[in-house]
Amino acid sequence: MMRKIEYPGIAEWPELVKRPTQNFEDLEAGIAQTFQLVRVQGDAALRELAQKYDGAQLENLLASPEELAVAESLLSEELKQAILQTYSNIQLFHAQQAEQSKPVETMPGVTCWRKSVPIDSVGLYIPGGTAPLFSTLLMLGVPARLAGCPEVVLCTPPAKDGSVHPAILYTATLLGIAKVVKAGGAQAIAAMAFGTESVPAVNKIFGPGNQYVTVAKQMLSKTGVAIDLPAGPSEVLVIADDSANPAFVAADLLSQAEHGADSQVVLLTNSAEVLSQVEKELQAQLELLPRKGFAAKALSNSIGVVLLSVEEMIAFSNLYAPEHLILSISNFEEVLDKITNAGSVFLGNYSPESAGDYASGTNHTLPTNGYARAYSGVSLDSFVKKITFQHITPAGLQNIGKTIEVMAAAEGLEAHKNAVTIRLKEVKNV
């Protein structure tokens, strides 16, 4: 069960917010070999590695139009309706993020503005296997399409028979993604980064994955290919006072713990009685979970902390910077302005974290491992570049020219100064 800590002093907090250490350096050499193999051999390497790691013998790396067309008939009406509702909610929320840029005249004759331009090509990595994450495909595919990215490539590992889960294929069709590549692991990341005969090279890669995918994405920083954000094990922090429902809190903690043994869950409360009640609920609910082993291991690496007040709990949470933050407290409205570091926040007893994971409309691709101190989750902005424009009239150059000349001269950059001076002479002669 969770490790219990009662009333730790502020000096102890930095140690308590540390995540379990992960050393991935020993994976880098093998991943570098995979990168080189895919660079040199292209599609042949992807087929070879699909056989080696997925047990799949592939004739075609791309899902065929027939496979995409038949996927819908393989899903229940209930699941299709759930996917459509989720699609609608995600689209509605992300469509509101579009930036309407207005030109600004910073001084007479000097006009500046900014424009959002879609990234030319993006790659989406969606884990498959026993838990095909079609929800993540919606989270990434909807904003990619809203942004207007001309090319969207999807990579997902095949099953042993060479198939892709129909929920992923149905969702891809819904999103208008026709290029579905049957490739997983570091080799899929390499294919999207460098390109093969069947897989176009992309400018930015999105999506979660195992430790090999995580390290492969991090290694791309040296190649000029961008990634969505640093990834790590999933995590949740729950702040609960005596108004919280212990059964709800336990369910939220377990919903995150079942992701994997390396997930971390944290409970903060100002009531030792609440902590005790939550622990009893954790024991009872854990026994009923199919993924009990994963959840139990994650709980053993997690903590329950009793603090003096809601204010202290918010301060601790800001230091921890959780991926998911749940406020199971009365009057949560009064503390919202004090939350400065979190990926996504869930308010009140009836806002479970799984709502954000699936269907409320917010994005579930979020910063972990404390990166919420500096990173945002995936949004419409993740799929666009912001390009600035400026137009200066002859009169505008006369207004701003002296300022530029003085600053350029002070920095010893004479050519910068001359680029203005030569124009001002021309303006004066007109």
pLDDT at residue number 402: 97
Residue 76 has pLDDT above 80, yes or no: yes
Mean pLDDT for all residues in the chain: 95
Q: What is the pLDDT of residues 372-421, one digit of tens each?
A: 999 999 999 999 999 999 999 999 999 999 999 999 999 999 999 999 99
Torsion of CA 213, 217, 301, 368, to 10 degrees: -130
Q: Binding site for substrate: residue ranges?
A: 234, 256, 259, 324, 357, 411, 416
Can you list the domains of the chain with their CATH numbers? Answer: 3-17+232-361 (3.40.50.1980), 25-101+119-227 (3.40.50.1980), 393-429 (1.20.5.1300)
pLDDT at residue number 230: 81
pLDDT at residue number 130: 62
Q: What is the pLDDT of residues 14-30, one digit of tens each?
A: 999 998 777 788 899 99
pLDDT at residue number 203: 97
Beta strands at 204-206 and 226-227: parallel, antiparallel or unpaired: parallel
- CB-CB contact of 335 with 355 (8 Å): no
Length of the chain: 430
Q: Is 258 a catalytic residue?
A: no
Q: Binding site for NAD(+): residue ranges?
A: 125, 187, 210
> Among residues 94, 165, 324, 364, which one is catalytic?
324
Q: Binding site: residue ranges?
A: 125, 187, 210, 234, 256, 259, 324, 357, 411, 416
Q: What is the pLDDT of residues 233-273, one digit of tens each?
A: 889 999 999 999 999 999 999 999 998 888 899 999 999 99
Q: What is the pLDDT of residues 191-240, one digit of tens each?
A: 999 999 999 999 999 999 888 999 999 999 788 899 999 878 889 999 99
Q: What is the pLDDT of residues 295-346, one digit of tens each?
A: 999 999 899 999 999 999 999 999 999 999 999 999 999 999 999 999 999 9
Residue 129 has pLDDT above 80, yes or no: no
- How far apart are alpha carbons 368 and 231 in whole angstroms? 6
- CB-CB contact of 342 with 321 (8 Å): yes
Q: Is 323 a catalytic residue?
A: yes
Give which of 178, 327, 357, 338 is closest to 267, Cα–Cα. Answer: 327
Nearest-5° Cα angle at 279, 273 to 284: 130
Question: Position of tokens 């990579």?
Answer: 155
> Among residues 279, 281, 312, 323, which one is catalytic?
323
* pLDDT above 70 as % of the chain: 99
The pLDDT-based confidence of 46 (bands split at 50, 70, 90) is very high
Mean pLDDT on 49-64: 96
Q: What is the pLDDT of residues 149-205, one digit of tens each?
A: 999 999 999 999 999 999 999 999 999 999 999 999 999 999 999 999 999 999 999
Q: What is the pLDDT of residues 87-104, one digit of tens each?
A: 999 999 999 999 888 999
- How far apart are alpha carbons 392 and 396 in whole angstroms? 5
Residue 51 has pLDDT above 80, yes or no: yes
pLDDT at residue number 336: 97
- CB-CB contact of 167 with 129 (8 Å): no
H or E element that contains 140? helix 134-147
For the chain, the distance separating the N- and C-terminal CA atoms, rounded to the nearest angstrom, is 82
Q: Binding site for Zn(2+): residue ranges?
A: 256, 259, 357, 416
The pLDDT-based confidence of 125 (bands split at 50, 70, 90) is very high
pLDDT at residue number 131: 72
Mean pLDDT on 31-48: 97
Kindly tell me the number of DSSP H helices and DSSP E strands found in the chain. Answer: 16, 14
Please give the full DSSP string across 340-364, using - where no structure is assigned: -S-SEEEESTT--HHHHHHTSSS--
The pLDDT-based confidence of 430 (bands split at 50, 70, 90) is low
